[in-house]
Structure 1
Amino acid sequence: MTTSTLPPEPGRTLRELAKPGRFAGHQVMDRPTLDRIARNRPAGAGVPASLPHCPALLVPDPAWFARRGTASSIHGVLHGARVAALLQLLAHHQDVEPARARALAAAAACHDCRRLDDRADPGHGKRAADWLNAHGHLVTAALGAPPTPEAVTAVALHDIPHEAFNGSETEAHRRHRLAVDLLKAADALDRCRLPLTRWWPDLRRLRLPIPDCAPPLAHDLVVRSERARLDGATDAQAIELALNSALPA
């Protein structure tokens, strides 16, 4: 197994890069930033007792990312895998059937794969959706589910605020509302990986009810997976460890 980790730039933590004018194109987790994130865990147990089983482990291949640096960044492999896990948890809460949830989660694992950097990068959702349409066979073979039309639509719209949808995007959201809103919510929950708490998810902006366990669970997945990778685990090992330690067997 391989890891997509690259060492952070010496002397520059994510918190330092969060200062105005210093946003870097390639942003990776570091221990001081992760320690600060860990000290700000949301209240709650973080264990959804109603889950029938642990979510499927869906880890995107670093080779699917537009740039090698992006695969190791805060929008890279670990982020995609955590969003895939969180989407499965939210889908269970919405009574989405397992096969449909897995297809949505497999596409969600790839939702940032066409990012060119870790800044705003407008349009990366549409580029990822186009990539899924062209390379769905790779995702199906690796993650066990094809990118369905609703899953591809969710990826295409995930980076566009609801209020900024144009006419065709509004219609696409109307047709695939649950898929789009599930990915937006799962993606938002993983914002607790960001270095400033004011950038963490505002649940009032989400269009789905979020179970009380979700924010602390999302935080646990960030801290445990990022710490494991900083300690030398591969991407897949880090996510597996985080899921197994955060969720009931």
Structure 2
Amino acid sequence: MISLTPRPGGEPSLRELAGSGRRPDHQAMDRPTLDWIARHRPAGAGVRVTMPHRPLLLVPNASWFARKETAASIHGVRHGARVAVLVQLLAAGHGLPPDRALALAAAAACHDCRRLNDRDDPGHGQRAADWLTEYIADVEAVFGTAATTEAITAVALHDVPHDTFTGNQARGYRQHQVAVDLLKAADALDRYRLPLARWWPDLNRLRLQLPAWAPVLAHDLVVGSEQAHLDGATDTQALEHALRAVMPE
């Protein structure tokens, strides 16, 4: 068990709280936790990624989240934006055309927007899908692309294990299998932000084969954006900084 050592502010880090089973409902990154994450960069290939163009940075509005605490948490704005980037990077290798990939990325940016806390919160995927359906015009106005039925289905199923799909969910998965599995994979890759290694990505559980560069790039996106934010950058500035670092122009 991880011993509790108070931070300079007097409170234990998120990593220490997680190790002692005391995670709060709303969890924010802190420097000791991020320092530990940075020291445990996954082994693998370098992060050189070739794309026809850089992925678009799609940063969800904090006002889209069910609770302001969640927007600022480890399932909040920066997580959604990183997953949207990862969806675009992975899509080209799995036959998803650029227009469908961008629609999926727009939905991915909002996939956790209806979370009520940073624990399991079952059903938050369907709640986010319902929200996307209702506010599709608002999302399109900000991102310049609308979430399609395919993308909304992926959001609805992203938090549901394949082996627990209901009949309706299984039918939706069969219709939109690639999009669902892409979002699940991108979401899993951003688990490097979590404070214990046992919660980090298990690529053997994914139904897509990922390129060798994916874990390293995902880890570096987490560390770069979270470090910049802790240093005072806005969400958008932090994400732009991290994206430039992993994919120099």
What TM-score comes out, normalization by structure 2 length?
Answer: 0.94
Name the counterpart of 1:192: 192
1:52 aligns with 2:52: yes
Alignment of 1:28-43 (within 5 A): 28-43=28-43
Shift of 1:198: 1.0
Task: Supply the AA of the counterpart residue of 2:17.
Answer: L
What do residues 61-89 of structure 1 show as CA deviations (whole Å, max 9, x unaligned)? 00000000000000000000000000000
Higher relative contact order (CA 8 A, sep 6+): 1
Alignment of 1:13-24 (within 5 A): 13-24=13-24
Aligned residue pairs total 241
Shift of 1:49: 3.3
Shift of 1:112: 0.1
Q: Which region of structure 1 is more displaced relative to structure 2, 166-175 or 10-19? A: 10-19
Shift of 1:50: 2.5
Alignment of 1:1-249 (within 5 A): 10-249=10-249
Task: Supply the AA of the counterpart residue of 1:152.
Answer: I
Shift of 1:45: 4.2
Supply the distance in 1 between the matched residues of 2:106 and 2:209 (Cα, whole angstroms): 22
Contact 1:128-1:155 within 8 A present in 2 as well: yes
Shift of 1:222: 0.1
Contact 2:229-2:235 within 8 A present in 1 as well: yes
Shift of 1:94: 1.5
Supply the distance in 2 between the matched residues of 1:185 and 1:57 (Cα, whole angstroms): 18
What do residues 36-61 of structure 1 show as CA deviations (whole Å, max 9, x unaligned)? 00011012344243222221010000
What TM-score comes out, normalization by structure 1 length?
Answer: 0.94
What do residues 190-230 of structure 1 show as CA deviations (whole Å, max 9, x unaligned)? 00110111110000000111000000000000000000000
What do residues 82-140 of structure 1 show as CA deviations (whole Å, max 9, x unaligned)? 00000000101223211111000000000000000001000000000000000001110
State the superposition RMSD in angstroms. 1.2
Unaligned 5+ runs, structure 2 = 1-8
Q: Which runs of 4+ in 1 moved over 6 A?
A: none
Supply the distance in 1 between the matched residues of 2:46 and 2:58 (Cα, whole angstroms): 20
Q: Which region of structure 1 is more displaced relative to structure 2, 90-99 or 204-213? A: 90-99
Name the counterpart of 2:3: none
Contact 1:47-1:248 within 8 A present in 2 as well: no
Contact 2:70-2:118 within 8 A present in 1 as well: yes
